[in-house]
Structure 1
């Protein structure tokens, strides 16, 4: 069951996908690639900050010839 109303400033996976104009699978892929981090929720119902979703949406996307690399902290 989805949250009826997530906390202010956060989005569920499906709401984040609608906000960014992508599929929910893309949101999960951004998390896997380290472009987006969860800010709460549960393992099956994560929450994301609105600003983090916008940052991930505007991040440079990889190409086949020049794949983006994630820098280690």
Structure 2
């Protein structure tokens, strides 16, 4: 269930995924890799700033050894 009363300019994980055109698992991976930071919420229901999600979507992603080029 989504938060119905988020402050303007903030997104849940699934909303951030829709805004970035990615899967929710990708948003969680960006957080784990340090590309995107949470700005509040709870551990199970984090929230993100819209500007941070947009910046992460266009940022250069670090490659891992052995990873195929996209």
User: TM-score band, normalised by the shorter chain?
Assistant: 0.7 to 0.9
Work out the number of aligned pairs and report it: 66
Aligned to 2:46: 46
TM-score (norm 2): 0.85
TM-score by length of 1: 0.81
5 Å matches for 1:1-73?
Answer: 1-63=1-63, 64=67
Q: Which runs of 5+ in 2 are unaligned?
A: none
Q: Which portions of structure 1, spanning 4 or more consecutive aligned residues, are displaced by more than 4 angstroms?
A: none
RMSD over aligned Cα atoms: 1.7
User: Gaps (5+ residues) in structure 1?
Assistant: 67-73
